[in-house]
Each structure stands twice: as C-alpha cells, then as structure tokens.
Amino acid sequence: MNETISIKKKEINQKNLGIVYILISALFFAMMSFFVRMSGDLPTMQKAFFRNFVAALVSGIMLLRSKEGFKIKKEGLPFLLLRASLGTIGIYCNFYALDHMNISDASMLNKLSPFFAVIMSIFILKEKANGFEWMTICVAFIGALFVVKPSFDVEVIPALIGFLGGFCAGTAYTYVRKLGTMGERGPVIVMFFSMFSCMVCLPKVLFDFHKMTWLQLIYLLLAGTCAAVGQICITTAYSKAPAKEISVFDYANVIFTAMLGWIFLSQCPDKFSIIGYVIIIGAAIIKWKHNNRNIIRNSDGGNDK
C-alpha cells in the first residue's frame, strides 16, 4: 500500500511541475508577444523567422552540452514531423491573424488551443476528460472572453485562418505530450520544430527582407529568446502531465499580457478584464485542488482496503 501511495504522490508532484512549467511558459510567451508588438511594422515571415531562429539556437546549445547530444529516437521521428508541421502552421496562422484582424479577436482564436489539446488527446493519446475537467476549461474560456472582449466584426478568411492556427497549436501540443511519454527530450522537440520552421520561411525572408533598425533587431532577438524559453517550458509541461489536467493554466498568458500592457504601455484593464482575471485564476485554482484531492482520496481509499 505504501508503494501505491508513493506512486500517487509522485503523480501529484509531476502534475504540479507541469503546472509550474506551463505558467512560466505563459509568462514568456506574453513577453514574446509584447516584444513582437514593439518591433513595429515588419513582414510576418521575418518576425516568425527570428522567433524560431533564436529558439533553435538556444535548444541547440542545450543539446550540445548534454550527454546524448543531437540523438533522436527513431520511433519518435514521425511524431516530431507532425509536431513541427502543425506548430509551424499554427505560428504562421496566428501571425497572419494578428496582421489582418483585430488583435483581441486573433488572440482569442489562438486561445482555443487548450480546447483542441484536450479534444485531440482523446484521439491521439486515448486520454478522456471527465465532466468537471470540461467544465473548468469552459469556465476559463468564458473568463478569456471577458478579458479580450472579441467583437468578431472581421472578414471571414483571416478569422478562419486564426481558428486553424488555434487547432494546429493545440494538436501540436498533444504530439508534444506523446513524444514526452515516449521519452523524447524537450530540447530535441524544440530544436526540431524551430529548425523546421526556419527552413520553411527562409526563402521568403531571403527574397523579401525588410531592413530593420538596431532597436527593431533587439526587440526581435528578445522576442525569439522569450519564445525559446516559453517553448522549452511548455514542451516540458506537456511531457509531465496530460493536457486535460494542465491546459487550463495556459490562460494565465492573458493575465501576464495584460500586466505587461499596464506596466509598460499604460493600458489599464477595465472592469470586464478584471472579472475575467478572477474567473481564470479561480478556475485554475479550483481545478488544481480538485485533481490533487481526488488523487489523495483514491490513495486513502486504497489504503483503507
């Protein structure tokens, strides 16, 4: 029985680690969005290239310093390709939506990715979410609506592309989880994805490069660095816990983005945004406590027997 309790406690620790990593990733992705915004009017492909190039560089250095180096598990290669392809499409769709529609609408569409991560985990990982888990995700989604207040008065094509981006991102994170269960290392997943994305957009950048100021270059390098940290953290998060149990915490990105806007851009949140923050944080805390309580209760039940 002690062994069962030990296993359950280990599960709790893994899930809590996943939550910590996904919160850190949310912060750094918010910083990435902030620096991309500050970089000004540059082509979408050029911004995406720098975002992925720095991530490839950082993960490459991590792999060089590791014992296993750039070794990739052969059985994971098809899933690495799927993750890289879907992640690349997701980034470009999100950047396109940001360039062609209302920013709050584009952000809302991108925040559909946790929903798709849970849904696709049913088909890819055979993980099933219960009613309570679906409810908390829906509550968090409602909170995000309060924050971004989407009007959806946009043209059809950019909106559909943004929706596709959310789907691709969520599905890509599901494959991250699958690769993690197969024992593939986080830096390998990030390196493969980042290099793949860079190679896809390199031709466009070479033939349509827009000259940048030093300040724009610094902003893009900072954006890329934040993206690298965020990508590594979210990869680690989904490797440690199922999407259905931690994806709700990704909505913290909305809160971090609003905080950056308030501190650096003097954008004070209105009453609807504050209501959204309370809903999102409340849903995350309730879900976290509920999961841990269930694991402990099951352990005690097993011990009673």
Residues 35 and 205 sit within 8 Å (Cβ to Cβ): no
Give residue 229's identity as a one-letter amino acid code.
Answer: V
DSSP-derived letter for residue 42 is: -
CA distance 212 to 231: 25
d(CA 222, CA 38): 10
What are the residues whose beta carbons fall under 8 Å from the beta carbon of 31, sequence distance 6 or more?
222, 223, 226, 230, 256, 260
Alpha-carbon distances of 12 from 69, 135, 183, 299, rounded to whole Å: 30, 21, 19, 11
Residue type, position 123, single letter:
F
Whole-number pLDDT of residue 295 = 63
User: pTM to 2 decimals?
Assistant: 0.75
Predicted local confidence at residue 78, as pLDDT: 92
The neighbour count for residue 212, using CB atoms within 10 Å, is: 16
Which residue from 110, 175, 133 is spatially nearest to 15, judged by alpha carbons? 133
pLDDT tens readout for residues 95-125: 788 777 666 667 767 777 777 887 888 888 8
- Check residue 267 and give its pLDDT: 67
Which DSSP string do the residues of 161-216 spell out, in sequence order? Answer: HHHHHHHHHHHHHHHHHHHHHTT--HHHHHHHHHHHHHHHHHHHHHHSPPP--HHH
Nearest to 72 by CA among 155, 156, 186, 153: 186
Residue 204 is predicted with a pLDDT of 86
Backbone angles phi, psi at 257, to 5 degrees: -65, -45
Q: Which residues of the chain have pLDDT under 70?
A: 1-8, 101-105, 108, 148, 150-156, 243-244, 267, 292, 295-305
CA-based nearest residue to 275, from 151, 150, 147: 147
pLDDT given at position 156: 63
Nearest residue to 195 (alpha-carbon basis) of 84, 300, 107, 282: 84
- Residue 133's alpha-carbon distances to 41, 204, 231, 241, 287, in angstroms, are 40, 42, 24, 14, 7
